[in-house]
Amino acid sequence: MTFSDQEIEREAERLLRALLWVECQPGVRWDHEACRRVAPLTLEIGALKRERDAVILTHSYVDPEIVYGVGDFRGDSYFLSQQARDCRARTIVFAGVVFMAETAKILSPQATVIVPDGASGCSLADSIDDSMVRRLRALHPDAAVVCYINSSAAVKAESDVCVTSGNVYDIVAGLPERKIIFVPDRLMADNLRAELKRRGVTKEIIATDGTCIVHDRFDAATIADARQRFPGLKVVAHPECAADVAAAADFVGSTGAMMRYVKETAAPYYLMLTECGLVGRLQVETPEKRFVSGCRLCPYMKLNSLEKIRDALRSPRPDQIVTLDEGLRLRAARAIERMFALAPAS
Ligand code: 13P
Ligand code: SF4
């Protein structure tokens, strides 16, 4: 597709208004020239979206030129699942990772769901399979099986209820079963035990050994050091972090809740213990706030690119189209729908 100079110029200005405060490479901020370079791509993706009746869902961890350049909805796993469920478009492009695109397909089976890079896994989702869940259930027949949304469709299909980082504590606290098999995040399970204890709720949590390769690297010593160097610092962590990190933070929540906390809390500095894309979003939406560097990159989320989105919209390869066995999809949908019933808002 070709675009006139005037169209490219207008698009570059739109992109620059959003991306002005964000880096396009380490140490290099977006400028007019960089925006002009990507403008033909974002214009083409916009035209293809209209042609294909497509919406693009973007997780906050993907690059800001995707989130703000072509995304229709941006947010955390819970919010994007709601958008996928309510979506009436013929095509959903999920700029996130495979388990998120699978969740969209479970909730919107009529749509063609596209994942820009079929290799965009997740260390949590890839840590267990459905046979492990069945084995645990056989060992603990009186337990409820709770899966974190960062799990495959097959694992969801074996679970009683799905949870996200925004509702895990409330949903588990409210379940009638005393024994809970919680998969696949061992560190979130530790945080869950601590939170249930704080609430005075007695439950036995049986966990598996998965961790997020981004969040399991943060440590409490870094927090102590940063607090010394930046007086008044607020530390904001994700519940995939280790329990001592969560305990040392000022706020722990989903990426959506982390953003809300920063927007609503005045502080001279913030340390975001999560993926760097979230800091990019905050730089766009709260350019007056100052972030102490400390975030980490998720190699899976960073597999998304404008080029891959454009190519998938032009003509998706089979590995970019999510397909699920219908029986498995229906069983996985039950676990997610139960989550929506138990936690109707994020
Ligand atoms: P959120 O649902 O909080 O956005 O978390 C998704 C995720 O992958 C965190 O690593
Ligand atoms: Fe998975 Fe961690 Fe990447 Fe989130 S940040 S997609 S949990 S590996």
* Topology agreement, domain 5-120+301-320 and domain 125-211: yes
Find out whether 119 and 326 touch, Cβ atoms under 8 Å.
no
What pLDDT, on the 0 to 100 scale, is given for residue 187? Answer: 98
Pocket of ligand 1 (CB under 6 A): 76-77, 150, 164-165, 212, 238, 240, 254-255
Find out whether 123 and 211 touch, Cβ atoms under 8 Å.
yes
Q: Which atom in ligand 1 lies closest to the alpha carbon of residue 96? A: 8
For the chain, the structural domain boundaries read 5-120+301-320, 125-211, 215-292
What pLDDT, on the 0 to 100 scale, is given for residue 167? Answer: 98
Number of residues in the chain: 346
Q: Which atom in ligand 1 lies closest to the alpha carbon of residue 258? A: 3
Best of 120, 164, 275 for a ligand 2 pocket test (most atoms within 8 Å of beta carbon) = 275
What pLDDT, on the 0 to 100 scale, is given for residue 25? Answer: 83
Find out whether 277 and 58 touch, Cβ atoms under 8 Å.
no
Residue 24 pLDDT level (bands cut at 50, 70, 90): confident
Strand 270-273: give its sheet, edge to edge: 251-252, 234-237, 270-273, 291-292
Q: If one looks up domain 215-292 in CATH, what number appears?
A: 3.40.50.10800
Count each helix (H run) and each strand (E run) in the chain, helices first: 15, 14
State the distance from the centre of ligand 1 to the C-alpha of 186, rounded, in angstroms.
Answer: 15
pLDDT above 80 for 83: yes
CATH superfamily membership of 5-120+301-320: NadA-like (3.40.50.10800)
Alpha-carbon separation of residue 89 from 109, 115, 159, 217 (angstroms): 11, 15, 28, 39
For residue 146 the two structure tokens come to: 């709770």
What pLDDT, on the 0 to 100 scale, is given for residue 251? Answer: 98
CATH number of this structure's domain 125-211, picked from the four choices 2.70.160.11, 3.40.50.10800, 3.40.190.10, 3.90.1150.10: 3.40.50.10800
Helix spans in 108-219 (H): 130-139, 153-157, 168-174, 186-199
Q: Which atom in ligand 1 lies closest to the alpha carbon of residue 164? A: 2
DSSP bridge partners of 321: 114
What pLDDT, on the 0 to 100 scale, is given for residue 39? Answer: 98
Q: Which ligand has the nearest atom to the CA of 149?
A: 1
Per the prediction, the chain carries an average pLDDT of: 97
Largest CA distance in the chain: 66
What pLDDT, on the 0 to 100 scale, is given for residue 119? Answer: 98
Find out whether 255 and 278 touch, Cβ atoms under 8 Å.
yes
pLDDT (tens digit per residue) in 201-257 = 999 999 999 999 999 999 999 999 999 999 999 999 999 999 999 999 999 999 999
